[in-house]
Amino acid sequence: MKKLLTLLTLLPLTLLAHLNIVVSYPYIGALTKSIGGEHITTTVLAKGNWDPHFIIPRPSLITKVRNADALIMNGAQLEIGWLPPLINRAANPKTSPSSPTFLNLSHHVELINKPSLVDRKDGDIHPDGNPHFHLDPQNILLLANVIKEFLISIDTEHKEVYEKNYKEFFDMWSEKIVIWKQKMQSKNGLKVIQFHDNLAYFNKAYGLTNIGTIEPLAGIPPSSKHTIEIIELIKKEQPCCILHDVYHSTKTADFISQKSGIKVILMPHDIEALDSIDNLSALFDYLTSAIK
């Protein structure tokens, strides 16, 4: 009887202590889980193998936001086309952008490629700068710290656990950064072509230069005129390769590859983008080995 009573009193306590954190993308989920450990559960809204700009706002996602204790998003307008109506329909005060349980990661990172002039004649641009900042491994450390502080602020009770987990993650990741840097050393100075400038931060971290994109302007599908221009550019500038995301069709890239002789390399942008990538380290292990 006593046991049952203790169980009954403990049950709601453990339920309460367990924070349900909804995040927009898989990488945020993995990072948050690394810091939060057993005190949190993470629910990821977007699928890792889909274009992060275009997530279908399925009604099931409304329920996920509705049941959340906190929400962590990438920000910098990456979610602008799909997250606002989900938050609005979920009507959860804890996931309102003005709430202390809401975290916009982009506010804590220095964004690059911020356009000086914001005009849609230049395509569907991100006015705050390039939002794909998590592909610089240094930024992952920065974000880990931001998430640690965030978790402490909403769950002070487990401060020590979060700090300990963060320390472990920091040490592990710092070692990896050294390894990845060594692997990428010989690639410094290479020129690359992309479909969309997803890898701006990755390129910056390892000294790669993006000289052109297959899409003529951000968000505008490839045109034959622009494709010919890219083939000309490749012949002139001799980039090593086309770094291609997993969610756009490689049809145009394959055509360019055939005409210019440079290879197309699939570059996953997030966990689950390819089947083999099931954690954050695996993502960077893959990215830093992809260019041969």
Residues at the interface with other proteins (CB under 8 A): 50-51, 54, 56-60, 62-63, 66-67, 77, 80-85, 88-93, 96, 98, 120, 123-124, 219-221, 247
C-beta of 47 vs 204, nearer to other proteins:
47
C-beta of 81 vs 115, nearer to other proteins:
81
C-beta of 119 vs 160, nearer to other proteins:
119
The strand pairing partners of 218, in sequence order, are 123
38 burial (CB, 10 Å; 0-12 / 13-18 / 19+) is exposed
Q: How far is the CB of 96 from other proteins (least distance, A)?
A: 6
Q: How far is the CB of 39 from other proteins (least distance, A)?
A: 21
Query: CA-CA distance, 83 to 268, in Å (whole number)?
Result: 22
Query: CA-CA distance, 283 to 279, in Å (whole number)?
Result: 6
Q: How far is the CB of 229 from other proteins (least distance, A)?
A: 19
47 burial (CB, 10 Å; 0-12 / 13-18 / 19+) is middle
Q: How many CA atoms lie within 13 A of 221 on its CB side?
A: 6
Strand 209-213 and strand 191-194: pairing? Answer: parallel
Residue 202 Cα distances to 3, 23, 133, angstroms: 54, 22, 8
C-beta of 93 vs 261, nearer to other proteins:
93
C-beta of 85 vs 189, nearer to other proteins:
85
Q: How far is the CB of 38 from other proteins (least distance, A)?
A: 21
CB 150, CB 216: distance < 8 Å: no
Q: How far is the CB of 253 from other proteins (least distance, A)?
A: 15
